[in-house]
Amino acid sequence: MRTGPESELAGVLAGLPLFAGLSREECQAVAAVARQESRPRGAAIFAEGDPGHGFYIVLEGRVKVFKLGADGKEQVLHLLGPGEPFGEVAVFAGRSFPAHAEALSRCRLLVIPRAAFRELLARQPSLALNLLASLSLRLRRFAQLIEDLSLKEVPGRLAAYLLMESDQNGGADVVRLEITKGLLASVLGTIPETLSRILARLSRSGLIAADGPLIRILDREGLAELAGGERRL
C-alpha cells in the first residue's frame, strides 16, 4: 500500500468518530476532495454570515467558535481540538455560518466542500448516522448552555464547569484550566472581572482552592449544590 500524503490523511480520517464505519476507500475519497489550510494564532477562520462552501475539521491546534455582541463581548459556543469538525450547520441549513470561528493557536485545518460531501452522504447511511449523532450531541450541549445562561448565576455555571472538567478527568480533585481565564469567562457567559471575583469568593468559602490555572475541588457537595442552582452562599 502506498502511503502518499492523501493516503496518510485518509488514515487520520478513518480514525475519527465522524467517519467511523466508512471503508478505507471512502475515506480516501473524502481526503481527495478536501483541501488543507492553515491559520496563525488569532486569525479568523470564518465570520458569521459568510457563505459556507464547506465545513472544517481541525487537524492541529485549537479553534473557538463564538458569537459577537454589539459591544465586542464574546460568547463562546464551541472549543475544538484535533479531530473535531465544525461549521457543518452551514452545509445542511441556511448556507451561511451562524457564528464566528477563530484560531486559538496555529492551526492546520481540513476543508471539506459542501457538494462533494453531500454526495458522499447520500451513498453512506452510516456517515449520516454519525452526523446525526454529532449534531444531536451538540444540540444537547447547547440546551445545557441555554439553561446555564438563563437559569443559573455565574457561580453555578462555574461550579458546573469545574465538576464537568473533573468528571472528564476521571473525577480528579485538581482541575487544570487549559484555557485562559478570559476565555473561560467567555465560555461561561460572563467577563474576566466577574469570573475573577467569583473564583475568589468560592475560595474564601472553602469550596475550592485556586492557584493560577490549577483549581482544587475541596467541597464537591457544595459545588454540586451551587451547580444545581440552589440559593446559597
Partner DNA sequence: CGCTGCGTTGAGCTTCTTCAACGATCGTGG
Partner DNA sequence: CCACGATCGTTGAAGAAGCTCAACGCAGCG
Q: Quick one: three-class SS letters along the chain?
A: CCCCHHHHHHHHHHCCHHHCCCCHHHHHHHHHHCEEEEECCCCEEECCCCECCEEEEEEECCEEEEEECCCCCEEEEEEECCCCEECCHHHHCCCECCCEEEECCCEEEEEEEHHHHHHHHHHCHHHHHHHHHHHHHHHHHHHHHHHHHHHCCHHHHHHHHHHHHHHHCCCCCEEECCCCHHHHHHHHCCCHHHHHHHHHHHHHCCCEEEECCEEEECCHHHHHHHHCCCCCC
By the rule CB under 8 A, 230 interacts with a copy of itself? yes
Residue 4 or residue 69: which is nearer to a copy of itself going by CB? 69
Q: Which of 61, 85, 87, 155 binds DNA (CB under 7 A)?
A: 155
Residue 116 or residue 177: which is nearer to DNA going by CB? 177
By the rule CB under 8 A, 17 interacts with a copy of itself? no
By the rule CB under 8 A, 145 interacts with a copy of itself? yes
Instruction: Please give the Cα distance from 135 to 185 (Å, whole number).
Output: 25
Q: Which of 58, 190, 207, 222 binds DNA (CB under 7 A)?
A: 190
By the rule CB under 8 A, 139 interacts with a copy of itself? yes
Min CB(121)–a copy of itself separation in Å:
7
Q: Which of 17, 51, 206, 228 binds a copy of itself (CB under 8 A)?
A: 228
Residues of this chain, 43-82, that bind DNA according to CB under 7 A:
71, 73
By the rule CB under 7 A, 197 interacts with DNA? yes
Quote the cell numbers at residue 151. 437559569
Instruction: Please give the Cα distance from 206 to 223 (Å, whole number).
Output: 10
Residue window 45-84: x/- pattern of binding to a copy of itself, with contact defined by CB under 8 A: ----------------------xxxxx-x-x-x-------
By the rule CB under 8 A, 128 interacts with a copy of itself? yes
- Judged by beta carbon distances under 5 to 8 A according to partner kind, the member of DNA, a copy of itself, none in contact with residue 43 is none
211, 199 contact by CB (below 8 A): no
Site for DNA, rule CB under 7 A: 71, 73, 153-155, 180-183, 189-200, 210, 213
Site for a copy of itself, rule CB under 8 A: 67-71, 73, 75, 77, 88-89, 91-94, 98-99, 118, 121-123, 125-126, 128-129, 131-133, 135-140, 142-147, 149-152, 189, 228-231
